[in-house]
């Protein structure tokens, strides 16, 4: 009886603890005082589904390596004194706000090292400040983790759970356990490595015959943080369980291609995908010897383990481009076996950079094909970068994928 009583007590304490944590999250997220007429409200959600605009475009702002610390108390690294009399995390926030206003994206993708754990007194507070511009914009946004996010007061599971609860976030801790006969439908997969593996479907333009069809896929993968291999420390990597999930996602989308686009003047519709993860794969080193668009300024800091990411992406054929972070002063795009791999270029002023080399962010634009009467499937994917200079300079515009028939 004493054992049963002890178990009952532990169970009750667990429920009380979970309720307390849930309340704290809501209070932190919205900073409401429990007085007067103030109430604790739930998360604000974006307009869903995510879709192309009426003009047939869908624009993504990639934000890499914010390295947010403690706000005004976190000084900048690698900046010129004559450019910044006083520089802090607030410069990162200002640049992100400027990008959102000037580019007017449809979606924001944060590709890891969103906060810099060693400089972060409270991970939750720093996350709120770092993602503040995205939440204030009301745009749908998603994030993955880098190798520094968990070095503060939250582990990776807690970080992704917290991020998924933030206003307008469409981030997920991990994929749902899907399957037409699965009794686990709606629950999360537990046999997949990492935290922050998920895909987001983008639907066709309003009023088009593809308005209720997903025609573009965004894949987010957790590339881990640190690991020890044969006694040597190295960076994390994307595991086989994650690649198995990617292959399953691809198969479901390929099964959709044959019956999605039924208009008489339609080109054969493919459903392209983009990938987003933080730590580059080992093959990126090969691009030093190939033609690239942008600058290759530092060694590729990748894992010593090659888990077959490139081989998998080539075999499925859906992913046309991958967007990474991690190496802040690399901002190039290079092609490996028909897939473009692009660095975002570091945006964060508390992260390392290069004095005199402006912080930057990448923009990705997907465009639909135009039939005789309506918008069709995705026809072209372009990219460029914006610099944090006086002109908000636009540089290195290029086409990553073009599905138009050659003349």
Q: Which domains does the chain have, with CATH numbers?
A: 1-42 (no CATH), 46-402 (3.60.21.10)
The H or E element that residue 370 is part of is strand 360-370
- Cα distances from 346 to residues 131, 144, 166, 300, in angstroms, run 16, 15, 23, 14
In three-state secondary structure terms, 402 is: strand
- Cα distances from 341 to residues 149, 163, 224, 311, in angstroms, run 23, 26, 18, 14
Half-sphere exposure of 392 (CA within 13 A, CB side): 12
Phi and psi at residue 103, to the nearest 5°: -90, -25
Three-class HEC string of 106-117: CEEEEECCCECH
What tokens appear for 228 in the block? 């020890």
Question: For residues 313 and 341, is the Cβ–Cβ distance under 8 A?
Answer: no
Phi and psi at residue 253, to the nearest 5°: -70, -40
399 sits in the region (left: phi over 0; alpha: psi -120 to 50; else beta) called beta
Phi and psi at residue 63, to the nearest 5°: -120, 110
Cβ-Cβ contacts under 8 Å for 238 (sequence gap 6 or more): 194, 221, 222, 223, 224, 277, 281, 307, 309
Give pLDDT, residue 186: 56
In three-state secondary structure terms, 57 is: strand
Give pLDDT, residue 37: 52
- Cα distances from 385 to residues 94, 203, 393, 397, 405, in angstroms, run 17, 25, 8, 7, 27
What is this structure's pTM?
A: 0.87
Phi and psi at residue 78, to the nearest 5°: 55, 55
What tokens appear for 117 in the block? 């754990």
Question: For residues 147 and 225, is the Cβ–Cβ distance under 8 A?
Answer: yes
Grouped pLDDT means (10 residues each) for the chain, 407 residues: 44 48 53 49 91 98 98 95 90 98 98 96 97 98 98 97 97 77 57 96 94 96 96 97 95 62 48 97 98 98 97 97 98 98 97 97 97 90 97 98 76
Question: For residues 253 and 205, is the Cβ–Cβ distance under 8 A?
Answer: no
Give pLDDT, residue 38: 54
Question: For residues 189 and 176, is the Cβ–Cβ distance under 8 A?
Answer: yes
Give pLDDT, residue 39: 58
Give pLDDT, residue 371: 83
Phi and psi at residue 51, to the nearest 5°: -150, 165
**C-alpha closest to that of 222 among 210, 205, 239:** 239
Give pLDDT, residue 40: 63
DSSP one-letter string for 128-187:
HHHTHHHHHHT--EEEE--SSTTSSSS-HHHHHHHHHTSTTB---SS-B---TT-TTTTS
What tokens appear for 85 in the block? 């009399």
The H or E element that residue 59 is part of is strand 57-63
What tokens appear for 134 in the block? 């995205």
């Amino acid at each position: 009886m004493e054992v049963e009583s002890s178990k009952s007590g532990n169970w009750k304490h667990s429920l009380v603890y979970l309720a307390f944590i849930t309340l704290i999250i809501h209070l932190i997220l919205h900073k409401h005082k429990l007085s007067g007429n103030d109430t604790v409200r739930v998360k604000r959600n974006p307009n869903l589904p995510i879709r192309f605009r009426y003009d047939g475009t869908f624009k993504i702002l990639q934000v890499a390596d914010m390295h947010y610390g403690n706000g005004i108390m976190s000084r900048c690294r690698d900046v010129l004194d004559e450019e910044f009399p006083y520089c802090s995390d607030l410069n990162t926030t200002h640049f992100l706000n400027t990008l959102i206003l000037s580019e007017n994206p449809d979606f924001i993708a944060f590709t890891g090292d969103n906060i810099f754990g060693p400089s972060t007194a409270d991970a939750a507070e720093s996350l709120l400040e770092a993602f503040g511009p995205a939440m204030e914009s009301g745009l749908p946004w998603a994030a993955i983790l880098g190798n520094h996010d968990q070095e503060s007061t939250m582990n990776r599971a807690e970080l992704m759970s917290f991020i998924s609860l933030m206003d307008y976030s469409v981030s997920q801790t991990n994929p749902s356990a899907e399957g037409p006969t699965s009794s686990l439908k709606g629950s999360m997969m537990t046999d997949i490595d990492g935290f922050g593996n998920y895909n987001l479907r983008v639907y066709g333009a309003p009023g088009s015959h593809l308005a209720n069809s997903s025609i573009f896929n965004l894949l987010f993968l957790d590339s881990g943080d640190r690991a020890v291999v044969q006694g040597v420390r190295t960076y994390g990597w994307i595991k086989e369980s994650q690649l198995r999930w990617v292959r399953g996602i691809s198969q479901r989308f390929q099964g959709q291609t044959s019956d999605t686009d039924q208009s008489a003047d339609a080109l054969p519709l493919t459903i392209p995908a983009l990938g987003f993860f933080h730590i580059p794969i080992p093959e990126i080193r090969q691009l030093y010897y190939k033609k690239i668009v942008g600058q290759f300024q530092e060694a590729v800091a990748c894992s010593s383990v090659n888990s077959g990411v490139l081989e998998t992406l080539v075999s499925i054929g859906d992913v046309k481009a991958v967007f990474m972070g991690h190496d802040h002063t690399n901002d190039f795009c290079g092609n490996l076996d028909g897939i473009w791999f692009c660095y975002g270029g570091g945006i964060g002023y508390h992260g390392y950079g290069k004095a005199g080399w402006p912080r930057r962010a990448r923009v990705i634009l997907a465009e639909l094909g135009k039939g005789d009467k309506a918008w069709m499937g995705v026809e072209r994917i372009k990219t460029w970068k914006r610099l944090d200079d006086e002109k908000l300079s636009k540089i290195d515009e290029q086409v990553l994928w073009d599905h138009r028939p050659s003349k």
